[in-house]
Amino acid sequence: MITDCNEGNSLRVLLVEDDLILGDGVQAGLIQAGFGVHWAKTCGEGDLALETGHYEALVLDLGLPDSSGLTLLQAVRGRKNPLPVLILTARDALADKVRGLNAGAEDYLVKPFELDELTARLRALLRRSHQRTSDVITRKGLELDPGARVVRLDGEAVDLPAREFTLLESLLEHQGRVLSRAQLEQSLYGWNSEVESNAIEVHVHHLRKKLGSDLIKTIRGVGYMITKEQ
């Protein structure tokens, strides 16, 4: 069973962990830190989630009940999926770490661990994957700080409701790339929510009023994008 806790956060992480107490704690901590978390408890559930959803990172346990987490990692890399992967495991032997990294993981965290360290490592993975040196995302006079949940335009704070913030963050994280309505709906509402047919258009309209009409481009019949700065 996959547990979907998006809570209006757009940095979508897939957590694959079978320990119910640990998984619940990690999910709650990452949501508090501004991530949307989808929690799968088996290798099979994790693979299905990756086939049907879009994520910014994968947090992967190795000791899963139906298969090794390395099997899932190898399948991800076999499909040429560049998703950043952080392995969580109780196995602290050097050989286990080497196997995980050689299989394509970017980072490795041994249980028990502090949630602050997990959050920091995830943000570092995301910075590298988006070729940034800071958590703060900028474009011209616009700044978005995912951790502090703050947006500034020309130095002035802009008050955005959670879903407008999430939509803006998704588009800024993928500057130069068109995101479909379905991708944006999944970021904002998760898998199991009822979504009004014009919800994305309404949020985009409000963002344009607050941040400028030329920031978000409509690609007719495809979706929305924020162009990269030249």
The yes-or-no verdict on residue 52 having pLDDT over 80 is yes
Strand partners, 110: 89
Give mean pLDDT, residues 91-106: 82
- Contact indicator for 153, 141 with CB cutoff of 8 Å: yes
Q: Where are the domains of the chain?
A: 3-129, 137-225
pLDDT given for residue 135 in this prediction? 74
Of the ranges 132-141, 196-205, 216-225, the best mean pLDDT one: 216-225
The yes-or-no verdict on residue 12 having pLDDT over 90 is no
| Mean pLDDT computed over every residue of the chain | 86
CATH number of 137-225: 1.10.10.10
| CATH fold for domain 3-129 | Rossmann fold (3.40.50)
pTM for the whole structure = 0.67
Taking residue 129's Cβ as centre, other Cβ atoms within 10 Å add up to 15
